Structure 1
Amino acid sequence: MSRVVYLIALLTVLGGLPAQDPPADLCGRYVNEDGFRVLYLWGTPEQRGFAQGWLLADVIVRNLDADLTKLMGRARKNQYEERLIKTVVPRFAFSADEEAELAGMLKGIEARLPQEERRIGLLGRALSLADLKATNTVGDWMSLGCSTFVVDGTYTKDGAPAVARNFDFPGFRMVLDDQHIVVHAPDGDSLGWVGVSYPGSVATMTALNSDGVFISIHDVMVIPSLLAPFRPNVPRLCALRRVMRDVSSVGAIASVHERLKSWKTMYGNNFMVVTPGANKGDPFAGVFEYDSRYKATDGVHLRVTDHLDSKGQPFLLCTNHHRVRKPRRDDPEKLCRRYNGLRDAVVGIDSSAGVKVSAERLFEVLSVAAFPKNDQPQARYRHGTTHQAVAFTGSKELWVRLGVVGKNIRQITPRRVKVSEALAAAKAFSSKR
């Protein structure tokens, strides 16, 4: 199977379980308000996993079954079992916490659904832990698009950077019907954070933590090194999760740089990281070109300016095509069109004294690089911008548009999530259980 077929087979379909009282000690809540879905999780990793598994069991299982049957077409089940489950998935190394959360998720699914309802029809067996691990490598095996820009504190009311991001992906059910906001409460060893995720995932694609650190991912077409299949690789969406849990605002850029060097990855990435806590003289944002090319930069190159002559500019841009290692990257005619269009729009933001940028204005600029173009509606399985986010790192606010089939992302009304309020809600839920 091709790289795309691997991933398409792992997608999800919206389903609904009959009303059932949750276990008294369930460490999660799932709230759906007019299509804006929020999953609150707290407790130990295993408890968080169990909660997601129990709350979203129907969605995770039934959708894998439906899409695997539809999208594998004439391919035989052993292509999934032998080539993905037994060959590809073992090449990825989850942390102890991630392993515990995935194991807890399977237990939650098993507690919610009888064995027959956990059955994947094409495979002739029940959902397994390996299937959940495969679901959490979707971000590695399926190409992303994406774009992000950040402006410094001269543009904002509180003097902290603001960032806006497009997540571009084929219009699968997991990122249209089922993507949701996940709220991870802090524990004794981690920060709390809020991000965009999908059912069955222990990770995130776009996120903001309680200390104001923001992160987003972009795909880069880099062929894995020959050694990549023979070493443990971090699932790249899990790398984002780890940054959110562990990295505070002061010294964030340097901290992420060192961590990524130790987390080997199979494919190419651009990570945009933004912090409100940069010390004087330190960068307020950086693009990490993170891949399997280790000889020159240990697999991680930090870019804090866009061009060789752009030192000190008040913004930083990133797309999945624009990076230092691309030949002739400083020739504007050689850069990707989305990058050039977005850069022109960012330059056009009024940063004069007394004029401070709003979330609405940042969404307007961001949409220059969104898909489909010309306000065409998002179609099932077609490439498009499946979510947009704007983050104010000082006030720790995340504004989100979750895409839907039949609407262009620009037509979606953004919803505001204040990190402190979301974490307080998780704490309130936990006290009532």
Structure 2
Amino acid sequence: MSLHGMRVFLVAMSILALFASAALTIPTPAGPPNPEPVHGRIEHIDGVRVVHVFGTPDQMGYAHGWLVGEDFVIGLQELFGQLPPAAASLADFMRSWTPMIKLTDAQRAELAAAYRGMRDRMGTQSMQIPGLDRCVDETDLLVWNGYDMFRAVGCSGFSAWGERTKDGEVITARTLDLAVFSPRWVESQILLVRHPAEGKATACITPVGLLGCMTGINEDGVCGFLHDGDGDDMMSVLEPERPVMFAIRDILERATANDAFSIAEEELAAQGPFPQSYMIRIVRPASGEEAARVFRLDAEGHGQNDAAEGLAITTNHYITGDTAASPLPRGDSRRRYAKIARVCGDTDPDLPITCETAWEAIRRVAADHPRYKTLHAMVARPASGEIQICVAGRDADGTLKAATAHPPTIMTLNQLFDAPPPMLKLRPAPGIHPTPTPGIRLTPGPGIHPTPAPGIRLTPGPGDTQPSPPTQ
């Protein structure tokens, strides 16, 4: 097995063990409570599910869980369905990690509400985990949201501005690459748009169930991206830490075009040494000025990559005065860096970088392997209020393909953030089939089998079909 293959295997084994460890300590939850209003809705824009949630952390969390939580549950059931014996042997070692995930009271309330929404929508009988005498529970969701504390996330991207682009506009791009723990998790990427009662609205491309942000933009056009780094790691988590995904979300909920870098510096300085090595790329819509800054977070604390002039390429190795090839197993990062540089005309700075250039560059570095894929990709023109995204999914013959195998969907920030709140409706009682708002399709719930719109494939609901078999 290659070094890259071994790393992906160890990542998969670790996350399996982490979920298994939770199974040793958490009791089966009680039955569903009374129905609650759902402060959110789903829109389908081309092939992308856009999930809007509104209000307080509790309200946004419940809407998230109610609207799309079954994808998290079915994905976890797939994960345990392929759980190898090796993962169980690691469970005792990793079971103590979940108390190390530090969230604010508001974030914990949102996470608890997200789980409650899943449970209310599906019912506990549909949430049973294969091979275990329990259902999916809130700690499973906490483990998923603390993922970046225990295993790194691989990605590629760049930001261009000033003389490197036409009219100096900011263009930024990224891929999000991750191991295929569950086919359902891969093909259930959403654009989660939060309309909070306090703080800035944000839009994050994400697997279902994640409340933090790996790829996101706020209403002011400030972008945040998470990249695996090659700095020092810790052998274990020594004290409670805020997951980096939540740090990026906290940055986006506060930042404006003028103060984005200082807000990021403040948030990450408060983070302290981190068990994994990451780069956090913050991009602001500032034509003609420094538009992107890459911050570092690792076992040594926080820092920054060297400043870039017009083109900041970020894969998975630190930039410190030169871009010499990193030692294995990080050599793949250097190769991806070189591919992006070639496409972006690193040797010909007079060639303007466009959105078409950006898509060509990230397609060159996207991953589409059976156990490691680009889950989503994004190109944005933040000053113009435009984002272009594509998500992983199945092609015509049912093959699970990386995001970049599909055409991008173009959206505007006004389209996302000016969306009106939904009419609040109670959860339908068994046997009641609600009428959807015109132009909006409801996600299928227990016993509800809506007719799919032309060209849109509904994911199976409880009792419809069995989950797709795990990728071998």
Instruction: State the TM-score, normalized to the length of structure 2.
Output: 0.75
1:332–1:340 Cα contact (<8 Å) kept = no
Aligned pair in 2 of structure 1 residues 136, 74: CA closer, same or farther (>3 Å)?
same
Which residue of the other structure, out of 239, 243, 250, is the alignment partner of 2:247? 239
Cα distance between partner residues in 2 of 1:394 and 1:92: 35
Q: Distance in 1 between matches of 2:213 and 2:381?
A: 18
Displacement after TM superposition at 1:196 (Å): 0.7
> Using the alignment, how far apart are the partners of 1:150 and 1:199 within structure 2?
27
Alignment match of 2:358 (pick from 356, 359, 362) = 362
2:222 to 213, 218, 227: 213
1:112-261 aligned within 5 A: 112-156=121-165, 159-172=168-181, 173=183, 175-188=185-198, 190-225=199-234, 229-261=237-269
* Structure 1 segment 279-294 matched on structure 2, within 5 A: 283-293=290-300
Q: CA offset at residue 41 of structure 1?
A: 0.8
Looking at structure 2, the residues matched to 361 and 43 of structure 1 have their Cα atoms a distance apart, in angstroms, of 38
Report the alpha carbon displacement of residue 274 of structure 1 after superposing the two structures with TM.
Answer: 0.8
* 1:300 corresponds to: 302
Report what 2:448 is aligned to.
none
Contact 1:208/1:391 (8 A) holds in 2: no
Distance 2:307 2:162 in 1: 16
Aligned counterparts of 1:302 and 1:221: Cα–Cα separation in 2: 13
Superposition pairs for residues 23-422 of structure 1, below 5 Å?
Answer: 25-33=37-45, 35-70=47-82, 72-75=83-86, 80=91, 82-84=92-94, 86-156=95-165, 159-172=168-181, 173=183, 175-188=185-198, 190-225=199-234, 229-264=237-272, 265-277=274-286, 283-293=290-300, 299-305=301-307, 313-324=309-320, 329-331=322-324, 336-347=334-345, 357-371=353-367, 378-381=368-371, 383-405=372-394, 406=399, 407=401, 409-422=403-416
Q: Identity rate of aligned residues, in percent?
A: 24
Hey, what's the Cα distance between the residues in 2 that align with 1:415 and 1:68? 33
Q: Report the alpha carbon displacement of residue 165 of structure 1 after superposing the two structures with TM.
A: 0.8
Hey, what's the Cα distance between the residues in 2 that align with 1:10 and 1:39?
Answer: 28
The separation in 2 between residues aligned to 1:122 and 1:218, in whole angstroms, is 35
Cα root mean square deviation, aligned: 3.0
What code does the residue aligned with 2:205 have?
A: V
Give the Å deviation of 1:23.
6.3
Residue 134 of structure 1: SS of its match in structure 2? Answer: helix
Alpha-carbon contact 2:54-2:195 (below 8 Å) kept: yes
SS state at 2:132 partner:
coil
Tell me the CA shift for residue 284 of structure 1. Answer: 1.9
Gaps of 5+ in 1: 12-21, 294-298, 307-312, 372-377
CA distances 1:301-358 after superposition (whole Å, capped 9, x unpaired) = 122435xxxxxx321111112433xxx8444698711112212222259875xx8654
Residues 4 and 141, structure 1, Cα contact 8 Å, conserved in 2:
no
User: Structure 1 residues 83, 333: CA separation in 2 closer, same or farther (over 3 Å shift)?
Assistant: closer
Superposition deviation, residue 414 in structure 1: 0.3
Quick one: which amino acid aligns to residue 125 of structure 1? Answer: R
CA deviation profile, 1:350-375 (whole Å, cap 9, x unmatched)? 875xx86542232112223223xxxx
Q: Which amino acid aligns with 1:429?
A: P
The aligned counterpart of 1:429 is: 422
Aligned partner letter, 2:194: H
Once structures 1 and 2 are overlaid, which stretch shifts more, 146-155 or 331-340? 331-340
How far apart, in 2, do the equivalents of 1:329 and 1:356 lie?
Answer: 24
- Aligned AA (1:74): P
Query: What is the deviation of 1:27?
Result: 0.9
Local SS of the residue matching 2:393: coil
Give CA-to-partner distance per residue, 1:252-283, whole Å, 9 cap, x none. 112201210102332100111111248x8x63
Q: Against the structure 1 CA distance between its residues 379 and 315, is the aligned structure 2 distance closer, same or farther, given a 3 Å change threshold?
A: closer
> What's the secondary structure of 1:185's corresponding residue?
strand
The answer to whether the Cα contact below 8 Å between 2:344 and 2:357 also exists between their aligned partners in 1 is no
